[in-house]
Chain A
Amino acid sequence: MITCIHCDENVLTAFFNEADVERKNPFCCQGCLTVHHVIHQKGLASYYEIKNQAGLYKRRSPVELKSLEFKYLDQAEFLEDFSHLNPEGKRVMEFYLEGIHCLACLWLIEKIPEFLNSVQTSKLDLERSVVTVILKDRGLFSDVARELNNLGYRPHPLKKNQEAADFKIKEERASLIRIGVAGAAAGNIMIYAVSLYGGAGAEFSYLFNNLTVIFAIPVLTYSAFPFYQTAWYALRNRTLSIDIPISIALIVGAIMGIYNMLTGVPENYFDSLTALVFLLLLSRYFLHRIQEKGLSATDLQYFYQSESILVKNEMTGLFQEVHSRFLKVGDEIKIKAGEFIPVDGEILRGHSYVNNSLLTGESAPIKVDIGARVFSGTQNLNDELIIRADKVQRDTRLGHILKNVENGWAHRSQIVTIANRVSKYFTAAVFILSIILFIKLSLSGSFEHALEQAITLLIVTCPCALALAIPLTFTRSLSRASQQGIIIKSDEVLEKLAKVKNVFLDKTGTLTYGQLKVINFRQHGVCNTSLIDIIFSLENRSHHPVAKALIHFVLPSQPLQLKVEDYQERVGHGVEGRINGDLFKINRQGVFQNHKLLATFEVEDVLRPDSIQALRGLQNQGLEIKVLSGDKQSIVTKIVTEAGLSPYSAVSEIGPEEKADLIHQTSHSVMVGDGANDAIALGKADVGVAVLGAMDISLRAADVYLTTPGLVPVERLVVLSKETMKVIRRNLILSILYNSLSVGAAFSGLINPLVAAIIMPLSSLTVLISTLIGTKKMRSLWKS
């Protein structure tokens, strides 16, 4: 098999450079060839050495070249919004780069300052595929963007709320420092605690005890601050939080330890408590990081579509690039074939087909002519259109949906997580038990001893094992999911998913491919040129869905590009052109040679083959499945029956709001969809799942984003959530068991700091092992 030397993609028909007479360097496409040439011209050939030595970091694909000017990057109002000045007064902008995949990309991107004089530094974040470019005084971002584009990485400028970003970075650094301080202090305390338990001499025991108190103070005040904060918010809002019992244990432990130090008793619980703070902070940090990763992955997608728009300049009458955020009402814009329309407006010139499926769910392309209205978020399929914008940004139909989605978010019910729910009983039980113990002991003995024992009980029954295990379980399941291409925005989603009873599916793009496929291809006549080559050569240039389906159909047979003369594509009449002197025509009726029928075919949006199995899997989980679609009833019913569902589970010809209403009325629901027409529904459902290729707007509305196609991930997601909750419940039981044990010990007067130092870590260790075993089982589940 030949592979492209630039992108390593397998190639059927290789491209070669004209100078490459020996045909040593095959390429998969013109894009890769051009980029290869650019890289060599700039003396960057080491790129290929590095690439071949380094493993892949991310999936990659052939370069899709598009010549863009990026002039809009230099406009003052754009710079104001998208870039900022660093402390040295240099302009900084961030770009999301398409096509970043390995170490060699890192090398290439960070070499930019060496061949582009106007750039001071360019630094790449490989994980996020984001490059931060700092310009020299007179540099232009458009130069940088063009250079990046020529190297095969299409840049998308990122708008950044600098204040928010700075704040986030500060917070993240602070939480790291908290963890570091807690870890260091806990480690030092442990050294002294061990020598105390080992029976350090009198003069040392006093010193060591005081040292542990000194070390514990920053941990219990500075490091543990987030616990107190959450507990305080929870108390003030009269809600529950597992941080309340933790804070109680920490505060009570601190008071007791300091009191003991002052009265000269070398006894405290700081070794257990500081280690607990350290581990809790660490587990929460991991969970936070993995959630952040999911969030930023979906955030970035938002910048993908149509950012550079050609707008007619009133003064000169010429079209120039403007960023889509700066479009105004009355602007005349030019939309090429294949591009997305960024505004609602009226067509001034041109006629074409428009794909509305993302906005309305309708799968058939719609013919549009001069005077017709087109909407933001739809795709222009055939021909160049000139459109006058009459509604832009938030006033467009898409903008209204977006507003609706955001409102939905605000009104969405927050669930009380299992950890917080349990903490209610935990706290109550521990308090009651402490009081009982205090009364019991003070009746039979000294008041002081009773108080001490009651306090000890409060400390040792702190639900640390639980508070540690729950975030770790979620972290493991979230990362497991993200390895499988399922990005989950928060841990609560898993809890909600485990309770789900109803699944609503969108038809187009979810159950089906969302693209037309050729079926029933029949040859009727013979022709001296290969039919496959004719279809390929004629349909190659068209963006029409039928053309794409045909190209897809002939591609496996390795077609050749023939010379086409008098090529014409007319809306509603297909394509035609002369090949070897004969007039060929392809339209819905079939393929014609000089008006003689050669072949007929049908196109249809077909069911994904894995859908049937995935649906059965979901039904086996006890879920009720319903298919919602904006498409015609006959089409929907056909697909639904093919998928092995009853025709009654199909709801067709419904709009975005009706979908949302239907879901709103159903409790414990999941919605799976992709288009803007699903966005409100995704937001209204208990859990919204956006599938691969979904629009930015539905990504924002959804809780889960699938980066692999089809419904199989949805089934896995449900299984994963159920397994996760099972592990969490088991940990719950284990930690309650341990706490009962320590309550028993406290009541029989057996507990002291040494016993606590053994029981508390041991309980944490048990739940951690239980978590690891549980999530390991999840992994084997994925394989089957």
Chain B
Amino acid sequence: MEVIVILLPLALLLGLFFIGAFIWSARKGQYDDLETPRFRMLLDDQKINTSNPTSIKDGK
């Protein structure tokens, strides 16, 4: 049971770390909008090509 001397503080530290991380992210406003980010992650980061506009005819 001596191992508990290591495990217990470790568990507590881990817990504290995650509480800290949660507080940090909440303060940063990561939970302000719960709706849009789940859509935003689906979009690719490709740049738009403004130099080469497509014409109406090949638009589908």
Contacts and interface: CB of A to CB of B under 8 A. Distances in A.
Interface in B10-40: 12, 15, 18-19, 22-23, 26-27, 29, 31-33, 35-36, 39-40
A37 B26 contact: no
A45 B54 contact: yes
Contact of B33 (A54, A125, A181): A125
Contact of A114 (B15, B40, B48): B48
Contacts of B57: 19-20
A158 B1 CA distance: 63
Contact of B15 (A54, A110, A188): A188
Most buried by A among B4, B22, B47, B52: B22
Contacts of A125: 33, 35-36
A184 B48 contact: no
B23 A41 contact: no
A72 to B, nearest CB: 29
Contact of A20 (B19, B26, B56): B56
Nearest to B23: A177
Interface stretch (A168-176, A329-337, A406-414, A674-682): A168-176
Contacts of B4: 204
Interface residues of A, number: 40
B56 A25 contact: yes
B19 A181 contact: yes
Nearest to A41: B53
Contacts of B43: 50, 103, 106-107, 110
A48 interface: yes
Given A19-B55, A114-B48, A106 B22 contact: no
Contacts of B31: 173, 176
A126 interface: yes
Nearest to B16: A184
A124 B36 contact: yes
Contact of B32 (A110, A172, A211): A172
A177 B26 contact: yes
A172 B27 CA distance: 10
Contacts of B36: 106, 124-127
A17 interface: yes
Contact of B23 (A36, A57, A103, A180): A180
A111 B56 contact: no
Chain B residues touching A, range:
20 to 34
Given A177-B23, A181-B19, A126 B39 contact: yes
Contacts of B51: 43
A103 B42 contact: yes
A61 B56 CA distance: 22
B47 A127 contact: no
A43 B48 contact: yes
A474 B56 CA distance: 51
B29 A106 contact: no
Contacts of B49: 43
A25 B59 CA distance: 8
B7 to A, nearest CB: 12
A138 interface: no
A44 interface: yes
Interface in A27-59: 36-37, 40-46, 48, 50, 54, 57
Nearest to B59: A40
B26 A180 contact: yes
Contacts of B39: 54, 57, 103, 106, 126
A43 B54 contact: yes
B54 to A, nearest CB: 5
Nearest to A185: B19
A115 interface: yes
Given A25-B56, A36-B59, A43-B49, A184 B35 contact: no
B54 A17 contact: no
B18 to A, nearest CB: 7
Contact of A106 (B15, B40, B50): B40
A362 B22 CA distance: 57
Contacts of A48: 59-60
Given A126-B36, A172-B32, A180-B19, A114 B26 contact: no
A41 B57 CA distance: 12
Contacts of B12: 188, 211
B35 A115 contact: no
Nearest to B55: A40
Nearest to B33: A125
Nearest to B47: A114
Given A42-B53, A48-B59, A177 B22 contact: yes
27 contacts: A5-B59, A5-B60, A20-B56, A25-B56, A40-B55, A40-B59, A43-B49, A43-B51, A43-B53, A46-B46, A48-B59, A48-B60, A54-B42, A103-B42, A110-B43, A114-B47, A114-B50, A125-B33, A125-B35, A125-B36, A127-B35, A169-B29, A169-B32, A177-B27, A180-B26, A181-B19, A204-B4
Interface of A: 5, 17, 19-20, 25, 36-37, 40-46, 48, 50, 54, 57, 103, 106-107, 110-111, 114-115, 124-127, 169, 172-173, 176-177, 180-181, 184, 188, 204, 211
Given A5-B60, A40-B59, 9 more contacts: A25-B56, A40-B55, A42-B48, A43-B49, A48-B60, A103-B39, A106-B40, A127-B35, A180-B26
Interface of B: 4, 12, 15, 18-19, 22-23, 26-27, 29, 31-33, 35-36, 39-40, 42-43, 46-57, 59-60
